[in-house]
Every structure is written in structure tokens, then in C-alpha cells.
Structure 1
Amino acid sequence: MKFQIKYFAAVLAAASLFVSCNNDDDSAIVEGTHGDAELFFDNGVAGDALIIGNTYTNSNGESLTINRFNYIISNVVLIREDGTEYVYPKEESYFVINHADELQTVHLEGVAAGDYKKIRFGIGVDQQRYLQGETAQQSFWDLAAANDLTWTWSTGYRFINFEGVFTSTADAEAKPFQVHQGSNTATDNYREVTLDLPTTARVRENEQPSIHIKTDINVLLDGDTKILLQNNLNGAGTAAAIMGGQNLIDIAANSLKMFTVDHVHNGVGSHHE
């Protein structure tokens, strides 16, 4: 009887080891292989979901009814635990996020298999890319233009297009506002942000991670530096527009805290939860 118990225990242990090895093999990194990954940008306002047409009040005492929120994400880099990086090909690494059209997912194809612990990306378009000229980036320029993320070619891209109407404690009459963040001849407002992933993003031939990134639009005007729309009214006092100067430098700094990674899904297919 003791022999039988020992025999069955040995069989179970061997079976467990076999299953464990198979699971390890399934998730092992195979050098030279590639898979896909996706970034899902979940736009919100100070913890609330962003709903176009809804009104949100910030700590500046201004209530904003948001009608547009589009932006450009670029130069994606995935970073392993040991600090080595997978740089997504630059020519393919420019993406538009358009909340109203539910264009919120960035698909990354042909990513080197690996376990990734951080992500870095740009907010806007870097000068190196812009200076390649219009012909070199015509397809992305056309996409950005279709999503209201360009000025004229000579003045370049809008990195962020944030628009709506607002009221303030100083004036209860609703007035339109425009915040168009981008670089200009005086300043380069392109910024890059690095985010920790709460769990490892596993890229394999048969496993696609989805990195769920929360975007807090509120920090643009109500971040470390407070920017009042009421202080940016035009001469007639009928509308507010922020499109240059120190305000854009401050907004660029605020935007570095606009993104956080909420969670990572590992598996086959897309997950937006």
C-alpha cells in the first residue's frame, strides 16, 4: 500500500512538473521572434470619464464644456526590466488620438518579443521629424490635418487640440475657448513621458499585451501651473485662445503628468476594460 501511495505521488509530481514546464515554454521569450502590442488611451477629466459636450469644473473656478480633444502620440519605446529598449520604427511611430471619433487605440506591429516594464512616448511631433520636410511625412500630415491637428505647413502641427466653451467666477456668460498646443519658431514644445507599467507587458508571437493608459485632460490648465482661460480673452472679451507664448510652455510641462498606466492585459486580442 505504501508503495502504491509513493508511486502515485511520484506520478503526480512528474505530471505537475511537465505541466509547469509546458507553461514556462508557452510564455518563454524566443529570440528573434516578434508580436504585436496595443496602447489604449482612456481620456478623462480629474477622475471622471470624458464625454464630449459635458461640463467639468476645475480648481480655477472655471467650468469647461468640452467639444474637442485630439492629440498626437509619437516615438514609442518599450523598456525591459534590465533597461534595454525596443524602439518602434520612427517612420511608423506617429499616431492620432481623437476622442470624439473613438480613435483611441494605437496598434504596434512587429514588436520584438520580450517582457516590458516601462513605456516612453512623445506628445506631439519632434523637430527631427518635422524638419524631414512635407514629402517625407505626407500621409501622417494628411491624417493629422483631417483631425484638426495642423496649422499651415510653415507653422507645423498642433500637438493637442482642446476646445469648447467656458464660464468663470468672474463671468457667468459662456465663451468659446481654444487651446492649441504645438511648437513654434520661439520654442520647441515637444515633450516625452516615461511611465511605469504596474504589471509586465509580455510580447510573444501568440500573446498581445494591451496597455491601458489613462489621460487626464484636466492637468493641462489645472496642473502644477494654473492657467486661467479668463486671463486669455481676446481684445473684445468674447473668446479665449491659447496658441503661443509662456502659456504653451507651461501647458507642455503640465502635460507630462497627463498620462498614467492603469493596467496591462496580457493575452490574445484586444482588451479595453
Structure 2
Amino acid sequence: MINKIKLTGALLLMTTFLSCRKDISEPGFNQDNLAPLSIEFDNIVGGQNLVLESANYKNRSGETYNIQLLQYFISNISVLKADRTSYTVPQDSSYFLVSAANPDSRFARVKVPEGDYTKVIFTLGIDSLRSTMDVSKRTGVLDPAGGMESGMYWGWNSGYIFFKMEGVSPQAPLDPTGAHKYRFHIGGFGGYSAPTINNIKVITVDLTARGIAQVRGNRNANIHLFVDINKVMSGLNTISIAANPQVMFSDFSVKVANNFTAMFTHDHTEN
């Protein structure tokens, strides 16, 4: 009888513990109550709208340039509440290619649990794990064949180009086509046994000053970000087109990548 009483007491204690334990894998979230959220990446240059080909801009070095091509990967999106609980969008649904030539691509559309979110976190680039997965796990915008068509995959280097920007500047030397072209093709995920360049950048955007995201099932919340492309050359590091007209897989690419975090600012949230 005593053993039965002890066993019953132990079971009751375990039941109480399990019923009171918080799910540490996804604290504070109801996985069955997902709602739409979009993040809008609105490309600008300084205080101007980005216009491909026809508009001219000036960087911190005083160099004039236009933008003929602009594409970058956004991935691994997470959202945070004021109590610091967070939700990470499943990876298979969290890779996007933003292209200035495709206006609809500026929206990263995901689903997250209903709630009020004060921060959004995402990666500019493709994480090392996904970059080295079997091709069958890299579909959609990550399909290496499609990446070669869009110019966002280095076949010779077996790696993704995280950020690509090309255009014309009088300060760039003449290329074989007779144009004053500059090209910034930034990639590199760090490697494993032989670490290499790591240009993956994690961006955290605070939403509290200009409107938190109030995600509900009966509407689509949209976090509107400005992406200032001028910061690529005029951010933490000053990049001169004359001095560095072609930046690709080199040590100098780290200086360009370190400017990425300054590009993103929160304009407003539409709830």
C-alpha cells in the first residue's frame, strides 16, 4: 500500500510538472494559429527611388553611378515579441530572391503565429548548411540551375552570390565591351574544415518606433523596410568605384558585406 501511495504521488507530481512546463521549442506560440506576414524590401538610393538604368546617383567618394542590375537573397526570417519569445519561419519556406527588375519580388511572404511583434530578424545571404545540402534540398530560388540563369550562383565556386549589383560609372575603367562597368558580386559562407570568407550578414530591425507588426488571421500585416543601396558604398566602409570597380570573391568583398547591415531601416508597418 505504501508503495502504491508513493507511486501515485510520484505520478501526480510528474503530471503537474508536465502540465506546467512551457514548450521551450516554441515558447508562447500556437503553431495551429498561423497568419500571413509580409516584409517589403523597398529599394532606394539615398533619398531617391531606385530606377534602373536611367537614374544617376552619387556615392560618398563623389563618384557618379547608375544601377543596371540589383539582386540579393533574404533568408532565415524570425520574429520576436516584446517578452523576447521568438518564432522562426521553417527554413524551407524562408528563402527569397529580391530583384529590382521584378517589383513583386520585393515582398517576402511568410506565415507566423498570431501575435504582436517588435522585431524582425533575417539573413542577407544563404546559410552554410543550406549552401552545402544536396541539390534536391535546394529548390525554387535556390535551384543552382535557376541560380545560374539569374546569375546568382557561381558554377566555378559552387556557391551562391548573396548580393549582386552592376552598373555604369565614369570612374570605372573601360571593360572589354567598351563600357565603364562596375560589378559587385558578394558571396562566401565561411566553409567548414578550411574556413574561407564569410559574408553572411544577420540583420535585426526594431519595429517599436514606427509600428509593431500586429499579425492576425483576418488581415495581412506588412513590414515596410527601406533598403538604401547607396550604403553599399557609403556605409561603415567607404567604397570607391575607381579603386575597386570589380569586387567578387576576394578579401576586399568583406568590406562591402560589412556595409549591408546599414542598408535596412524600418519605414512603417501596415496592419
TM-score band, normalised by the shorter chain? 0.7 to 0.9
With over 3 angstroms needed to count, the CA separation of the structure-2 counterparts of 1:113 and 1:242, relative to structure 1, is same
Structure 2: how far apart are the matches of 1:112 and 1:217? 32
2:4: which partner in 1?
Answer: none
CA displacement at 1:170 relative to structure 2: 10
Superposed CA deviations along residues 144-189 of structure 1, whole A, max 9, x for unmatched, are 4443211117431111110011123999x96101100100662111
Distance in 2 (CA, whole Å) between partners of 1:138 and 1:112 is 25
Determine the structure 1 residue equivalent to 2:46.
46
Return the match for 1:175 from 180, 196, 211: 180
Aligned partner of 1:108 among 107, 110, 114: 110
Q: Partner residue of 1:139? A: 140
Give the corresponding residue for 1:56.
57
Query: 1:149 touches 1:157 (CA, 8 Å); kept in 2?
Result: yes
Which of 255, 258, 266 matches 2:263? Answer: 258
Whether 1:193 aligns to 2:193 is no
Within the candidate set 146, 150, 153, 1:150 is matched to 153
How far apart, in 2, do the equivalents of 1:121 and 1:153 lie? 28
Could you tell me which amino acid in structure 2 is paired with residue 108 of structure 1? V
Equivalence for 1:26: none
- The list of structure 1 runs, each at least 4 consecutive aligned residues, that deviate by more than 6 angstroms after superposition, is none
User: What is the rounded CA distance, in whole Å, between the counterparts of 2:52 and 2:147 in structure 1?
Assistant: 20
Question: Shift of residue 193 of structure 1?
Answer: 0.7
Q: How many residues were matched structurally?
A: 229
Match of 2:35 in 1: 35
Secondary structure at the aligned position of 1:129 is classed as: helix
For structure 2, the residue ranges without an aligned partner over 5 or more in a row are 1-27
CA RMSD between the two structures: 2.2
Inter-partner Cα distance in structure 2 for 1:65 and 1:150: 23
Residue aligned with 2:139, SS:
helix
Equivalent residue for 1:202, pick from 187, 206, 214: 214
Structure with greater strand percent? 1
From the superposition, tell whether residues 136 and 243 of structure 1 become closer, same or farther in structure 2 (CA, over 3 Å).
same
**TM-score, with length taken from structure 1:** 0.78
Cα deviation 1:173-217 (Å, max 9, x = unaligned): 961011001006621111101000121211111122100010001
CA distance in 1, matches of 2:257, 2:153: 17
Q: Output the TM-score relative to the length of structure 2.
A: 0.79
Q: Would you say the 8 A contact 1:227–1:247 is kept in 2?
A: no
Query: CA shift at 1:140, angstroms?
Result: 2.9
Pairing 1:249–2:254 present: yes
**What is the DSSP-based 3-state SS (H/G/I as helix, E as strand, rest coil) of the residue aligned with 1:35?**
strand
Partner of 1:225: 237
The residue identity in structure 2 corresponding to 1:159 is F
The answer to whether the Cα contact below 8 Å between 1:134 and 1:153 also exists between their aligned partners in 2 is no
In structure 2, how many angstroms separate the alpha carbons of the residues matched to 1:176 and 1:169?
6
Superimposed CA distance per residue, residues 208-246 of structure 1 (whole angstroms, 9 cap, x where no aligned partner)? 2100010001111111211112112xxxxxxx3110223
Counterparts of 1:196 and 1:219, CA distance in 2: 19
SS in 2 for 1:189: coil
**Counterpart in the other structure of 1:86:** 87
- CA distance in 1: counterparts of 2:213 and 2:242, whole angstroms: 43
Percent identity, please.
30
